[in-house]
Structure 1
Amino acid sequence: MKRCTFSVLVNNHPGVLQRVTGLFSRRGFNIDSITVGQSETPELSRMIIATYGDDNTLEQVKKQLNKLIDVVQIVELSAYPMVDRELALIKVSSLNKADPAILSIVEPFRASIVDIGSENIVIQVVGDQEKINSFIELLKPYGIVELTRTGMTAMPRG
């Protein structure tokens, strides 16, 4: 099984996201990550979809997506050098007064503290999935209260 990342350019119409995710659901394909936003053309949206599968499954995903009327273009980003990023907001308990230790983790990851409360600190970190996962593992001993991630967004290099 390999991870594949697709950039799917779609018409910016109501229901398109539901049709794309419905296709994955009906065919038994799993979506590992999906992000959607307006593209460089206002009437089009770009979906970045990460999924896992063998070569046959991934080829079927691509073929099925191409059959959807609102799909304008599909690019398999993982077939080329690409830049990918994800954002995570992590709320960590600051009651145990481990703030200096937490700060020593934040700095090397180029993360930033975006909110400080009497009981919690909210940290923002941006990077690839591996970096985010490593950062979360290092923060676990300090008590993660809440965690949210954006999912991956990506584009080809160059």
Structure 2
Amino acid sequence: MTATIKYDDVETGQEIPAVDYPVRRVNLVMYAGASGDFNPIHWNERFAKTVGLPDVIAHGMFTMAQAGRFVTDWVGDPGAVVDYGVRFSSMVVVPDDEQGAVITVSGVVEEKLEDNRVVVALTARSGDSRVLSRARATVRLP
């Protein structure tokens, strides 16, 4: 966990450096077990292709969780997040090879609010695709 970010140390427009989150099929199987979402498009390549997908795809909520992890790691306190929302804009395709896929998340402090809250606009990409849009987190900082 990183050091806790303080409100007075944050400026509007401040960029939060990108972090890469590798995704392999085993991660999707583990997530399916934790979430109860065993839809075969998330683990069965043959099934995914028969329904028109290019390959197995990551759960949308798994992708959202990686962006949330980015925020909580930056803040240093998971309890600091007071609001978080995204829209899913593209799939994270996870091939069955050693590389799998990568979700790259970055952010920028969009606004400083009262009560030590800041709004962070997030960008999440996989390959050439933006996989989340309208991704925002509001955090309360010390």
Larger Rg: 1
Higher fraction of strand: 1
Which protein has greater RCO, CA pairs closer than 8 Å, 6+ apart? 2
- Measured against the shorter chain, the TM-score band is under 0.3
When normalised by structure 1's length, the TM-score is 0.23
